[in-house]
Structure 1
Amino acid sequence: MKKIIYGLVFLSTVLPACNSKDEKTADKPKDKYEQTKETLEETEKKNPKRFLSVDGHDRKNLLRQTVIKGTIANSAKVASYKDVDVELSFYSKTGALLEKDHEVVYETIAPGSKADFKTKFYAPRGTDSVVLKILGAKSE
Protein backbone atom coordinates (compact mmCIF):
# COMPACT_ATOMS: atom_id res chain seq x y z
CA MET A 1 0.00 0.00 0.00
CA LYS A 2 2.86 2.37 0.81
CA LYS A 3 4.39 1.68 -2.61
CA ILE A 4 1.16 2.69 -4.33
CA ILE A 5 0.93 5.94 -2.33
CA TYR A 6 4.59 6.78 -3.06
CA GLY A 7 4.01 6.00 -6.72
CA LEU A 8 0.96 8.28 -6.90
CA VAL A 9 2.80 11.13 -5.15
CA PHE A 10 5.73 10.71 -7.55
CA LEU A 11 3.48 10.71 -10.63
CA SER A 12 1.47 13.69 -9.40
CA THR A 13 4.66 15.80 -9.17
CA VAL A 14 6.27 14.61 -12.41
CA LEU A 15 3.29 14.81 -14.79
CA PRO A 16 2.38 18.49 -14.24
CA ALA A 17 6.00 19.48 -14.78
CA CYS A 18 6.03 17.71 -18.15
CA ASN A 19 2.82 19.40 -19.30
CA SER A 20 4.00 22.92 -18.44
CA LYS A 21 7.07 22.54 -20.66
CA ASP A 22 4.91 21.45 -23.59
CA GLU A 23 2.67 24.52 -23.21
CA LYS A 24 5.67 26.85 -23.15
CA THR A 25 7.12 25.38 -26.33
CA ALA A 26 3.72 25.51 -28.03
CA ASP A 27 3.51 29.28 -27.38
CA LYS A 28 7.01 30.03 -28.66
CA PRO A 29 6.19 30.08 -32.40
CA LYS A 30 3.24 32.40 -31.76
CA ASP A 31 5.36 34.73 -29.60
CA LYS A 32 8.16 34.71 -32.16
CA TYR A 33 5.69 35.65 -34.91
CA GLU A 34 4.28 38.53 -32.85
CA GLN A 35 7.79 39.74 -32.04
CA THR A 36 8.78 39.64 -35.71
CA LYS A 37 5.60 41.48 -36.65
CA GLU A 38 6.32 44.21 -34.08
CA THR A 39 9.88 44.52 -35.35
CA LEU A 40 8.60 44.90 -38.92
CA GLU A 41 6.14 47.57 -37.84
CA GLU A 42 8.85 49.50 -35.99
CA THR A 43 11.15 49.32 -39.03
CA GLU A 44 8.42 50.57 -41.36
CA LYS A 45 7.46 53.43 -39.04
CA LYS A 46 11.06 54.61 -38.67
CA ASN A 47 11.82 54.57 -42.43
CA PRO A 48 8.89 55.98 -44.42
CA LYS A 49 11.13 57.01 -47.35
CA ARG A 50 12.12 53.37 -47.80
CA PHE A 51 8.52 52.20 -48.23
CA LEU A 52 6.98 55.16 -50.07
CA SER A 53 7.50 55.92 -53.75
CA VAL A 54 6.20 58.70 -55.96
CA ASP A 55 5.56 58.80 -59.69
CA GLY A 56 4.05 61.59 -61.74
CA HIS A 57 4.01 63.82 -64.78
CA ASP A 58 3.58 67.51 -65.51
CA ARG A 59 1.90 69.70 -68.13
CA LYS A 60 1.10 73.38 -68.68
CA ASN A 61 -2.44 74.76 -68.38
CA LEU A 62 -3.99 77.81 -70.08
CA LEU A 63 -2.77 80.12 -67.30
CA ARG A 64 0.84 78.95 -67.91
CA GLN A 65 0.90 77.12 -64.60
CA THR A 66 2.67 73.79 -64.32
CA VAL A 67 0.12 71.15 -63.30
CA ILE A 68 1.70 68.16 -61.59
CA LYS A 69 -0.26 64.93 -61.19
CA GLY A 70 1.29 62.15 -59.18
CA THR A 71 0.73 58.91 -57.32
CA ILE A 72 2.26 57.94 -53.99
CA ALA A 73 2.52 54.18 -53.39
CA ASN A 74 3.00 52.53 -49.99
CA SER A 75 4.88 49.21 -50.22
CA ALA A 76 4.87 48.64 -46.44
CA LYS A 77 3.17 45.52 -45.08
CA VAL A 78 1.96 46.91 -41.73
CA ALA A 79 2.47 50.68 -41.42
CA SER A 80 0.17 53.42 -42.72
CA TYR A 81 1.55 56.85 -43.55
CA LYS A 82 -0.02 60.30 -43.64
CA ASP A 83 1.05 63.88 -44.44
CA VAL A 84 3.61 62.85 -47.05
CA ASP A 85 6.19 65.57 -47.87
CA VAL A 86 7.07 65.59 -51.58
CA GLU A 87 9.94 67.64 -52.99
CA LEU A 88 9.47 69.12 -56.48
CA SER A 89 12.68 69.97 -58.35
CA PHE A 90 12.42 72.06 -61.52
CA TYR A 91 15.18 71.49 -64.11
CA SER A 92 16.13 73.26 -67.35
CA LYS A 93 16.87 71.60 -70.71
CA THR A 94 20.56 71.50 -69.83
CA GLY A 95 19.88 69.78 -66.51
CA ALA A 96 20.49 72.81 -64.30
CA LEU A 97 18.42 72.96 -61.12
CA LEU A 98 16.21 76.04 -61.28
CA GLU A 99 14.08 75.75 -58.15
CA LYS A 100 12.91 73.38 -55.41
CA ASP A 101 9.50 73.39 -53.78
CA HIS A 102 7.66 71.25 -51.25
CA GLU A 103 4.15 69.87 -51.37
CA VAL A 104 2.51 68.02 -48.48
CA VAL A 105 -0.11 65.44 -49.47
CA TYR A 106 -2.62 65.33 -46.61
CA GLU A 107 -3.95 61.81 -47.08
CA THR A 108 -3.60 58.55 -45.21
CA ILE A 109 -2.00 55.83 -47.30
CA ALA A 110 -2.75 52.31 -46.05
CA PRO A 111 -0.28 49.43 -46.46
CA GLY A 112 -0.11 48.27 -50.07
CA SER A 113 -2.27 51.11 -51.41
CA LYS A 114 -1.80 54.28 -53.47
CA ALA A 115 -2.93 57.90 -53.24
CA ASP A 116 -3.25 60.34 -56.14
CA PHE A 117 -2.50 64.04 -55.84
CA LYS A 118 -2.58 67.11 -58.07
CA THR A 119 -0.89 70.46 -57.55
CA LYS A 120 -0.26 73.65 -59.54
CA PHE A 121 2.85 75.83 -59.54
CA TYR A 122 4.18 78.80 -61.45
CA ALA A 123 7.40 77.12 -62.51
CA PRO A 124 10.48 79.25 -63.21
CA ARG A 125 11.22 80.28 -66.81
CA GLY A 126 13.06 77.67 -68.80
CA THR A 127 11.65 74.70 -66.89
CA ASP A 128 11.86 71.56 -68.99
CA SER A 129 11.20 68.83 -66.43
CA VAL A 130 10.05 68.26 -62.87
CA VAL A 131 11.45 65.57 -60.57
CA LEU A 132 9.41 64.28 -57.62
CA LYS A 133 11.02 62.89 -54.47
CA ILE A 134 9.67 61.73 -51.08
CA LEU A 135 11.24 63.64 -48.18
CA GLY A 136 9.30 62.09 -45.31
CA ALA A 137 5.94 61.21 -43.81
CA LYS A 138 4.23 60.68 -40.48
CA SER A 139 3.36 57.15 -39.48
CA GLU A 140 0.06 56.25 -37.86
Structure 2
Amino acid sequence: MKYIFSAIIFTIIFIACNSTEKQEANAQKKYEKTKADLATVEKETPLNFLVVNGGYKKNILRQSVVRATIFNNAKMVTYKDVDVKLSFYSKTGVLLEEDHETIYENVGPGESVKFKSKYFTPKGTDSVGFKIVKATFVK
Protein backbone atom coordinates (compact mmCIF):
# COMPACT_ATOMS: atom_id res chain seq x y z
CA MET A 1 0.00 0.00 0.00
CA LYS A 2 2.88 2.34 0.86
CA TYR A 3 4.47 1.63 -2.50
CA ILE A 4 1.32 2.39 -4.43
CA PHE A 5 0.76 5.63 -2.50
CA SER A 6 4.41 6.65 -3.05
CA ALA A 7 4.20 5.83 -6.75
CA ILE A 8 1.05 7.95 -7.14
CA ILE A 9 2.64 10.96 -5.38
CA PHE A 10 5.84 10.59 -7.42
CA THR A 11 3.81 10.46 -10.65
CA ILE A 12 1.80 13.56 -9.70
CA ILE A 13 4.96 15.52 -8.86
CA PHE A 14 6.64 14.40 -12.09
CA ILE A 15 3.63 15.43 -14.20
CA ALA A 16 3.30 18.78 -12.40
CA CYS A 17 6.97 19.66 -12.94
CA ASN A 18 6.88 18.60 -16.55
CA SER A 19 3.73 20.64 -17.32
CA THR A 20 5.26 23.76 -15.72
CA GLU A 21 8.29 23.47 -17.98
CA LYS A 22 6.03 23.02 -21.01
CA GLN A 23 3.97 26.08 -20.03
CA GLU A 24 7.12 28.19 -19.69
CA ALA A 25 8.39 26.96 -23.06
CA ASN A 26 5.02 27.71 -24.69
CA ALA A 27 4.92 31.16 -23.10
CA GLN A 28 8.42 31.91 -24.43
CA LYS A 29 7.44 30.76 -27.94
CA LYS A 30 4.29 32.88 -27.83
CA TYR A 31 6.32 35.90 -26.68
CA GLU A 32 8.84 35.46 -29.52
CA LYS A 33 6.02 35.15 -32.08
CA THR A 34 4.31 38.28 -30.78
CA LYS A 35 7.60 40.15 -30.86
CA ALA A 36 8.21 39.10 -34.47
CA ASP A 37 4.66 40.11 -35.45
CA LEU A 38 5.10 43.52 -33.80
CA ALA A 39 8.40 44.09 -35.61
CA THR A 40 6.77 43.20 -38.93
CA VAL A 41 3.91 45.65 -38.37
CA GLU A 42 6.34 48.42 -37.37
CA LYS A 43 8.49 47.79 -40.47
CA GLU A 44 5.52 47.84 -42.85
CA THR A 45 3.75 50.93 -41.45
CA PRO A 46 6.29 53.54 -40.29
CA LEU A 47 3.78 56.40 -40.66
CA ASN A 48 1.73 54.91 -37.81
CA PHE A 49 4.67 55.15 -35.42
CA LEU A 50 6.37 58.42 -36.38
CA VAL A 51 5.06 61.79 -35.21
CA VAL A 52 6.36 65.28 -36.04
CA ASN A 53 5.69 68.49 -34.09
CA GLY A 54 7.15 71.92 -34.56
CA GLY A 55 6.76 75.57 -35.38
CA TYR A 56 8.43 78.48 -37.10
CA LYS A 57 9.50 82.09 -36.65
CA LYS A 58 10.91 84.84 -38.88
CA ASN A 59 14.56 85.88 -38.54
CA ILE A 60 16.19 89.23 -39.33
CA LEU A 61 16.59 88.33 -43.01
CA ARG A 62 12.82 87.59 -43.24
CA GLN A 63 13.49 83.88 -43.59
CA SER A 64 11.17 81.40 -41.93
CA VAL A 65 13.17 79.31 -39.47
CA VAL A 66 11.41 75.97 -39.08
CA ARG A 67 12.19 73.87 -35.98
CA ALA A 68 10.61 70.48 -35.46
CA THR A 69 11.02 67.21 -33.60
CA ILE A 70 10.36 63.72 -34.95
CA PHE A 71 9.24 61.15 -32.35
CA ASN A 72 9.44 57.38 -32.87
CA ASN A 73 6.68 55.61 -30.92
CA ALA A 74 7.69 52.15 -32.18
CA LYS A 75 8.87 49.56 -29.66
CA MET A 76 11.39 47.66 -31.79
CA VAL A 77 12.20 49.33 -35.12
CA THR A 78 14.62 52.15 -35.88
CA TYR A 79 13.73 54.42 -38.80
CA LYS A 80 15.98 56.50 -41.03
CA ASP A 81 15.70 58.99 -43.92
CA VAL A 82 12.42 60.48 -42.74
CA ASP A 83 10.71 62.63 -45.41
CA VAL A 84 8.70 65.50 -43.89
CA LYS A 85 6.30 67.61 -45.96
CA LEU A 86 6.13 71.24 -44.86
CA SER A 87 2.97 73.18 -45.75
CA PHE A 88 2.96 76.97 -45.41
CA TYR A 89 -0.46 78.57 -44.77
CA SER A 90 -1.88 82.12 -44.71
CA LYS A 91 -3.94 83.59 -41.86
CA THR A 92 -7.11 82.40 -43.55
CA GLY A 93 -5.82 78.84 -43.96
CA VAL A 94 -4.98 79.00 -47.66
CA LEU A 95 -2.09 76.77 -48.70
CA LEU A 96 0.64 79.05 -50.04
CA GLU A 97 3.51 76.65 -50.64
CA GLU A 98 4.71 73.11 -49.93
CA ASP A 99 8.22 71.83 -49.50
CA HIS A 100 9.93 68.59 -48.46
CA GLU A 101 12.71 68.09 -45.95
CA THR A 102 14.49 64.74 -45.58
CA ILE A 103 16.10 64.06 -42.22
CA TYR A 104 19.10 61.77 -42.74
CA GLU A 105 19.37 60.48 -39.19
CA ASN A 106 18.35 57.32 -37.34
CA VAL A 107 15.37 57.59 -35.00
CA GLY A 108 15.46 54.69 -32.56
CA PRO A 109 12.53 53.20 -30.65
CA GLY A 110 11.24 55.73 -28.12
CA GLU A 111 13.71 58.38 -29.29
CA SER A 112 13.32 61.75 -30.96
CA VAL A 113 15.37 63.80 -33.43
CA LYS A 114 15.28 67.58 -33.76
CA PHE A 115 15.88 69.47 -36.99
CA LYS A 116 15.99 73.08 -38.14
CA SER A 117 15.71 74.56 -41.65
CA LYS A 118 15.45 78.02 -43.16
CA TYR A 119 13.12 78.95 -46.03
CA PHE A 120 12.14 82.08 -47.91
CA THR A 121 8.41 81.57 -47.62
CA PRO A 122 5.71 83.45 -49.56
CA LYS A 123 4.46 86.78 -48.29
CA GLY A 124 1.60 86.34 -45.84
CA THR A 125 2.78 83.05 -44.33
CA ASP A 126 1.17 82.68 -40.92
CA SER A 127 1.67 79.01 -39.98
CA VAL A 128 3.42 75.81 -40.96
CA GLY A 129 2.00 72.30 -41.08
CA PHE A 130 4.11 69.15 -40.79
CA LYS A 131 3.39 65.69 -42.16
CA ILE A 132 5.64 62.63 -42.43
CA VAL A 133 5.41 61.26 -45.96
CA LYS A 134 7.74 58.28 -45.78
CA ALA A 135 10.53 56.65 -43.82
CA THR A 136 12.60 53.51 -44.12
CA PHE A 137 13.57 51.09 -41.38
CA VAL A 138 17.13 50.27 -40.45
CA LYS A 139 17.96 46.65 -41.26
TM-score by length of 1: 0.81
Aligned to 2:125: 127
Aligned AA (1:81): Y
2: CA distance, partners of 1:77 / 1:123:
37
Tell me, yes or no, if structure 1 residue 96 matches structure 2 residue 113: no
CA RMSD of aligned residues (A): 1.5
1: CA distance, partners of 2:43 / 2:82:
13
Aligned AA (1:131): G
2: CA distance, partners of 1:98 / 1:60:
16
- How far does residue 26 in structure 1 lie from its aligned partner after superposition? 4.2
Tell me, yes or no, if structure 1 residue 86 matches structure 2 residue 93: no
- SS of the residue corresponding to residue 106 of structure 2 reads strand
When the two structures are aligned, how many residues end up with a matched partner? 121
Q: Any gaps of 5 or more consecutive residues in structure 1?
A: 1-17
Aligned to 2:106: 108
Aligned AA (2:136): K
Aligned to 1:72: 70
- How far does residue 130 in structure 1 lie from its aligned partner after superposition? 0.6
- How far does residue 70 in structure 1 lie from its aligned partner after superposition? 0.6
Aligned to 2:54: 56
Identity %: 51
2: CA distance, partners of 1:43 / 1:95:
35
- How far does residue 61 in structure 1 lie from its aligned partner after superposition? 1.1
TM-score by length of 2: 0.82
- How far does residue 27 in structure 1 lie from its aligned partner after superposition? 2.1
Aligned to 2:28: 30
Q: Any gaps of 5 or more consecutive residues in structure 2?
A: 1-14
